[in-house]
Structure 1
Amino acid sequence: MEQIMTKPKVLISDKMDPNAARIFEERGCDVDVITGETPEQLIARIGEYDGLAIRSSTTVTDEILAAATNLKVIGRAGIGVDNVDIPKASARGVVVMNTPFGNSITTAEHAIAMLLALARQIPEANTRTQAGEWPKKDFMGVEVTGKTLGLIGAGNIGAIVASRAQGLRMKVIAYDPFLTPDRAVELGVEKVDLGMLVQRADFITLHTPLTDETRNILNRERLEQCKPGVRIVNCARGGLIDELALKDLLDSDHIAGAALDVFAKEPPAADHPLFGTPGFICTPHLGASTTEAQVNVALQVAEQMADYLVDGGVTNALNVPSLSAEEAPRLRPYIALGEKLGSLVGQLEGPDVNSLTIEVEGAAAELNMKPITAAVLAGMMRSWSDSINMVNAPILAKERGLDVREVRHGREGNYHTLLRVTATTGTRKREVAGSLFGGSEMRLVEIAGTRIETDLDGHMIYVVNEDAPGFIGRLGSTLGEAGVNIGNFHLGRRLPDRHRGGDAVLLLTLDQRPTPEVLDAICELEGVKKVKALSF
């Protein structure tokens, strides 16, 4: 009978360019566009969807995530993801993506527009002129040529602002903990610390996300340290500037002007202290509001989500390593092998594992290790707990204090490609290794110091016993008397000696799950040291 493949189902819950729905459909997804629903309505509906595409109107809370039992990915058309509970999404194994580049140019251009509007006092001059005045003598602006622009944040948008400012013949300095010296040279900016930036800059623009580290990055103390007459622009996120302190320093003329596109609370109250303050201008979060940007972010989020749901590609994810759609087919068999090896270790050692080392060699050493590591962790932890996948496994491992190490070996040993997992539980180590035959067929090739070659599939029994004549016959008789049929039988001696009289390792594939009584009967056989039922 031909197997019918179910298409991934996506809900677009906020208004976005209609071409997004077309992209989902062309890429093999079913899509519904249902906007403007209440949280209660979304909770009632979300359980049937694999993907949720949003903008800023939908807030994805833990209650919505709890109802989204099939949800695999949330795509935010835009940069900010303040409206998504990322920790709760991660804990539930849901990938969260954004589109950090779709509106970068638009936001950067808005920052430059605000900077020039401050420099020439354009909004107030426009208002008074249209009111019938001709206040030419009241507006004495400043040139931007030759002035110093201080960037707080030199990522994608900050880099574009730097380029545009340099075109206006401004000198650009930048504060960004992640800005390398080489990147600063490439951008043509001078890297400085934050204290130096606020003391030297004639204009300051902010281009950083809102985090615990960046909240109120321009607090009262830093605003007071600013060069007298500075002008400040924020088109990034609300909450980066102490708004009450900004009001006071505008009133005192220490700050000559400020332009905000974003506020700590949006929309701001009608009686916001900054409203009406001389030298202050604002816009209603228009940084990404151009026709081009709206189209770009909608198309980008649809392409990213479809890549993940159809091909397994992960782009611009905030809670899982990136994996391109081109990489995914090549990595898929390694991910599957990693899950199997992780599951084997988890079943053998239980939840007491305190460190895990994942090693790759040969062809595997050329690959992106992060998805493989996540797969090993997911396989291992899934044997202890439900609802574990590659998204939440690394997070849960970190919460447990599990020490995870990745090692690459350029060498090629006995196998063209090899993945080895070593779990440490107290003073005991458990090593398992697997390879791919023919590029896709998974094989276990080593376990507990024993060379062995077998599939990891179905119901199995793992036995460690003294290597002595007659044991295999006694084991076969015990299983036969219990009515248990052996599908495959794999035997090996412990490395490196492999001498008679040492320990032997057996892996048996069975046609049905062994009962506790069968396991007890095997334990009672002479020479048996360990028995463990496995399931894959």
Structure 2
Amino acid sequence: MSPAHDDSAAVHPRALLLENIHVGAEELLREAGWDVVRLAHALDEEAIATYADSVELLGIRSQSQLSADVLGRFPRLVAVGAFCIGTNQIDLVDATTRGIAVFNAPFSNTRSVVELAIAEIIALTRRLTDKNAAMHAGIWDKSAIGSHEVRGRRLGIVGYGNIGTQLSVVAESLGMAVAFYDSADRLALGNARRCDSLEELLESVDVVSLHVDGRP
């Protein structure tokens, strides 16, 4: 029997969780009386249509694309949970028109991304990836040529939102000079310097870190 014709949907509200959303979400929903289908991957428009008639809550991450056409296939949908930072993968105007609530988790992995960015900056500046590859090839290269501390280096951040601002603070605490560019008017934190254009930023920094979602 297909999910769209499961008789349990008439008794309990149904949630569809895509893209390997944490099992804790499924457990909480089941405790609240929901029927839950949890899949480890995203679905294309045709595949998602097999669930559409019975789903009232849809949980996604960044890979799923919820266009107006896709949202229109869910006659009972009341809410979309974006278990990620952004909502640009959802047609928010259409969702609003249909009365579908959309929520996201803008701070869910901010610190994780910042720490990963810092780790990559240090690895590239100290040439750790090159040294690691050489060591695995049996070459013990003790030369420090081309390797530098991050202290005193200039970091350029494109996109000064939740992640960009926190990266700015952490990088500055490591002794980096921070400049940033954002199309929106953002308040500089600490000693960070705002650039008036992307060109100005790129001409004045040693390292660039991008934290934008692809929108103009």
TM-score grouping bracket, smaller chain normalisation: 0.7 to 0.9
Cα distance change, pair 175–38 in 1 and its aligned pair in 2 (3 A): closer
Report Cα offsets for 1:432-453 as digits up to 9, x if no partner: xxxxxxxxxxxxxxxxxxxxxx
Q: Decide whether the 8 Å contact of 1:121 with 1:139 is kept in 2.
A: no
2:200 to 196, 199, 203: 196
Larger radius of gyration: 1
| C-alpha deviation, 1:154, in angstroms | 1.6
Counterpart of 1:338 in structure 2 is: none
2:130 corresponds to 1:127: no
Counterpart of 2:171 in structure 1 is: 165
Q: Decide whether the 8 Å contact of 1:10 with 1:29 is kept in 2.
A: no
1:79 to 75, 79, 85: 85
| C-alpha deviation, 1:50, in angstroms | 1.6
Q: Decide whether the 8 Å contact of 1:12 with 1:53 is kept in 2.
A: yes
| C-alpha deviation, 1:203, in angstroms | 1.7
Counterpart of 1:41 in structure 2 is: 47
Residues of 2 paired with 1:164 and 1:34: CA distance? 36
Cα distance change, pair 104–64 in 1 and its aligned pair in 2 (3 A): same
| C-alpha deviation, 1:29, in angstroms | 5.0
Q: Decide whether the 8 Å contact of 2:29 with 2:36 is kept in 1.
A: no
| C-alpha deviation, 1:73, in angstroms | 1.5
Q: Decide whether the 8 Å contact of 1:149 with 1:203 is kept in 2.
A: yes
Residues of 1 paired with 2:163 and 2:209: CA distance? 11
Residues of 2 paired with 1:150 and 1:156: CA distance? 15
2:105 to 99, 103, 124: 99
Cα distance change, pair 164–138 in 1 and its aligned pair in 2 (3 A): closer
**Identity percentage of aligned residues:** 29
1:10 to 15, 20, 23: 15
Residues of 1 paired with 2:33 and 2:183: CA distance? 40
Matches within 5 A, 1:284-323: none
Q: Which amino acid aligns with 2:194?
A: K
Root-mean-square deviation (Å): 2.5
Residues of 2 paired with 1:18 and 1:170: CA distance? 39
Counterpart of 2:8 in structure 1 is: none
Report Cα offsets for 1:13-49 as digits up to 9, x if no partner: 33121111223345x4514123156643320212212
1:112 to 101, 118, 122: 118
Q: Decide whether the 8 Å contact of 1:149 with 1:204 is kept in 2.
A: yes
Q: Which amino acid aligns with 2:154?
A: T
1:152 to 153, 158, 172: 158
Q: Decide whether the 8 Å contact of 2:30 with 2:36 is kept in 1.
A: no
| C-alpha deviation, 1:80, in angstroms | 3.6
Report Cα offsets for 1:312-371 as digits up to 9, x if no partner: xxxxxxxxxxxxxxxxxxxxxxxxxxxxxxxxxxxxxxxxxxxxxxxxxxxxxxxxxxxx
Counterpart of 2:213 in structure 1 is: 209
Counterpart of 1:67 in structure 2 is: 73
| C-alpha deviation, 1:7, in angstroms | 6.0
SS of the residue aligned with 2:160?
coil
SS of the residue aligned with 1:115?
helix
SS of the residue aligned with 2:156?
strand
Matches within 5 A, 1:461-480: none
Matches within 5 A, 1:440-459: none
Q: Decide whether the 8 Å contact of 1:44 with 1:67 is kept in 2.
A: no
Q: Which amino acid aligns with 2:158?
A: I
Cα distance change, pair 190–56 in 1 and its aligned pair in 2 (3 A): closer
Q: Decide whether the 8 Å contact of 2:157 with 2:179 is kept in 1.
A: yes
SS of the residue aligned with 2:72?
helix
Unaligned runs of 5+ in 1: 1-5, 213-536
Cα distance change, pair 45–77 in 1 and its aligned pair in 2 (3 A): same
Matches within 5 A, 1:130-279: 130-137=136-143, 139-180=145-186, 183-184=187-188, 186-194=189-197, 195-212=199-216
Residues of 2 paired with 1:187 and 1:209: CA distance? 25
Residues of 2 paired with 1:60 and 1:177: CA distance? 26
Q: Which amino acid aligns with 1:204?
A: V
Q: How many residue pairs end up in the alignment?
A: 203
| C-alpha deviation, 1:91, in angstroms | 4.1
Cα distance change, pair 124–19 in 1 and its aligned pair in 2 (3 A): same
Q: Which amino acid aligns with 1:211?
A: R
| C-alpha deviation, 1:123, in angstroms | 1.2
